[in-house]
Amino acid sequence: MARLTRSLIALLERFRPGIAAKLPDYGLTAAAYVAVLALWQLVATSGWVKPFILPSPAATFAVLGSPTYRWLDNTLVTATEIFAGYAIAVVIGVTLALLFSWFRTMRALFFSLFVTLSMIPKVALGPLLIVWFGYGIATNILFACFIAFFPILITTARGLQESEPELLDLVRALKGTRWQIFVKIQFPSALPFIFSAMKVGAILAVAGALVGEFIASSRGLGYLMIQVQSTLDTAAMFMAIILLTVVGVALFGIVVGLERLLIVKDARAEAAWV
C-alpha cells in the first residue's frame, strides 16, 4: 500500500509539478470538512437540539429528492443571477477603471462620486429597484452587479496606477502609444489587483443575488428559503444554503483558475491560500 501511494504521488508530480507537495494540505482540508459533517451529525442526533432547529446532514440531503422544491430550476435561476451580475460588474468596473487611468479629468469628475455611491447600504436601494425595474431575474442580476461592481472598480483603478513611473516615462520617451503602455505595462502590473478585486466581487455577487431574491423574486434559492421559513422546514433551508455555497465556490474557483493561468505564482495576491 505504501509503495502504491508513493507511486501515485510520483505520477502526480510528473504531470503537475508541485501538486504532490500540496497533497498533505489537501488532505487536511478534506479532513476539516469531514470533521464538520461529523460534528453536525453528532449534535443533530444527540437530542440536544430539536430537529426543526438543526436537522441532521442525512435529513438535509434527503430533501434533494423531493420535487416540491424544484431544486434544479431554483438553483439555475440563482446561478444565472450571480454569474450574469458578476460578469456585467467585471466588464463595466474594469472598463471604467481603464478610462479613469487614461483621462484624468474623467477620474476627477466621477471617481469620488463612485466611492460615495459605494457607501450607500445596498439593501436600502431594494424598494427603489423594485419600483424602477419590477420583480424578476433582471432586478436580481442588477442587485448582484451593483454590490460586486464597486470593489472591482476601486481596486482595479488603484492597480492601474501602481505601474513604475520611471518605466512609463521611458516608454513614453520611446514614442510608445497609450495602448502599448496599457497592454505592455499597466495591465500586466494591475492583474494581481484586478484578480484580488474579482475574488471579493465574486463573494459579493452571491450576497447580492440572495438579497435580491429575498426582496424581489418569485424564483430562486433565496425565494425558496423565504417560502419554507413559514413551515420551519430547516432541512430545505440548509439545503438551499449548501447549493448557494456550491454556486459561489464554482464562481470563485473559475476566478482562481484564470488567475493561475494569467499570473505567475509570486505575483498573485493572497497566494498563500488560493
Give the pLDDT confidence of 155-183 residue by residue, as tens digits: 888 888 776 666 666 666 666 666 777 77
* Residue position matching grid coordinates 429528492: 65
SS (H, E, C) 158-194: HHHCCCCHHHHHHHHHCCCCHHHHHHHHHHHHHHHHH
Give the pLDDT confidence of 2-30 residue by residue, as tens digits: 554 555 445 444 545 544 455 556 677 77
* Residue position matching grid coordinates 430533501: 63
Residue 67 has pLDDT above 90, yes or no: no
Give the pLDDT confidence of 79-120 residue by residue, as tens digits: 999 999 999 999 999 999 888 888 888 888 888 888 888 887
**What's the CA gap between 150 and 207, in Å, rounded?**
14
Instruction: Sort residue 128 into left (φ over 0), alpha (ψ -120 to 50) or beta.
Output: alpha
Angstrom distances, CA of residue 246 to CA of 50, 52, 78, 79, 241: 27, 23, 11, 10, 9
pTM for the model stands at: 0.80
Annotated domain spans of the chain: 2-49, 58-267
Residue 273: predicted pLDDT:
42
* Residue position matching grid coordinates 489537501: 26
Which amino acid is it at 250? A
**Residue of 116, 154, 142 whose CA lies nearest to 212:** 142
Structural contact between residues 219 and 77, judged by C-beta atoms closer than 8 angstroms: yes
The CATH fold of domain 58-267: MetI-like fold (1.10.3720)
Residue 267 has pLDDT above 70, yes or no: no
